Chain A
Amino acid sequence: MLEFIRQPWPWYVAGPLLGLTVPILLLIGNKAFGISSSLRHICAACLPTKVPFFNYEWKRDIWNLFFVAGILIGGLLTLLFFQNPNPVQLNPDMVASLEKYGINNLKGTVPADLFNWTSLFTIRGFLLMVGGGFLVGFGTRYAGGCTSGHSIFGLSTLQWPSLVATCCFMIGGIIMSNLFLPYILAL
């Protein structure tokens, strides 16, 4: 059993389980699933400010912070008890293109060759971690949601703005990954 759990889960097991978050959150407390809001709540909680965007009763949405704390714990529990010891099984074409940029370690969730404390102080690492992180925080708030709030919750509840947002997420990602990322990785 534990062996089975340790393997990566196929999409047709994981996807439906992730989708169940939508009804679960609605049923346990009428909550609209969305994770990027937690970034706003953390800003509002940690930096008392007169900026209207952060001047609201963030405590009203504290459930969201409990939920993301749970995600962190979930990541830790997996690491401790049922982590997959093998590197991710990628398309050989992807493995080949990663090798071109010196990315050989495919273990774990992030490429250790790119994301580490030393590379943070290189242009490449800074662009990926700090630049990328900034765009994630800025873009999700401007768009009013992320993959969870728009692509899962929004699409599940048939909201057309979420379909537009999801298409834009994908278009942005495809453009960056195919057109610009090769140059950044070559830095």
Chain B
Amino acid sequence: MTPALRTARRDPRDRHPLLEQLGQLWRNKTAVLGLGIITVFVCAAVSAPWISPHNPVETSLYDQLKPPVWHDKGTWTHVLGTDELGRDLLSRIIYGARVSLLVAVISVGLAFTLGTLLGCISGYYKGLSDGIIMRIMDMILAFPYLLLAIVVVAYLGPSLQNAMMAIGITYVPRFARIVRGSVLEECGKDYVMAARAVGANDMRILFLAILPNCLGPLIVQTTLSMASAVLDAAALSFLGLGAQPPTPEWGAMIARSRALILRASWVMTFPGIAILMAVLGFNLLGDGLRDALDPRLRD
């Protein structure tokens, strides 16, 4: 066998370039820190029924507003204290991770699916469909942050499902624009021409040839969108437009604690820290991923 032929064959030790780049993530300390934080929250969310010390919605008249353990009057039964109905705060925060992560995954999942589909159609078929889709995206982008989500929920009625849908809809343009840009760029390359020449149909070219090459920016956007989805969902719940009582949701917990701000500041403090840490985790990971996968996007 001539050397030229040997190099043409795929070396099994060759890794996919995406994996190669992801491997570099381990060297990025902030990304690893972010991944660590997210892992903690995901573990808490998955194992909530086993690790939370109390039932998150069970009220207890005798345990109202117990302070956290490091207070003089604190006890180990309620490590982070209790709220005005005697519910254990630690358990509510652990279960709250379930709600927040679920909302983030579903709303970003919705935006990812819709955005990717629309972006593909827009970038691949160009012409009229591109014009129409991108104008619709412009319309959505004409509303400032959170406003459209608030309004959609205001009309549909406050609930967690509606909040997820509202957040999902407002995030579609981010994904559609990225995918459209990447698809436009990739379409002109030789490998697409080659795929077309061997008779692959549009679906095959789009999803098996082009899309895998656009994954980098998409992964980055997904991670950063998870961060803002957690934040937006908490804001909507804080305004009373998302999770309804007695669902243990961080934003809703902060809203209820406003009346107790002087008497029991811990009821307000811990859910806020939980939101901050979860969002920070996704942002750290997103930044790290951006450095590893998509140097063009660095801000």
Q: Do A and B share a complex? A: no
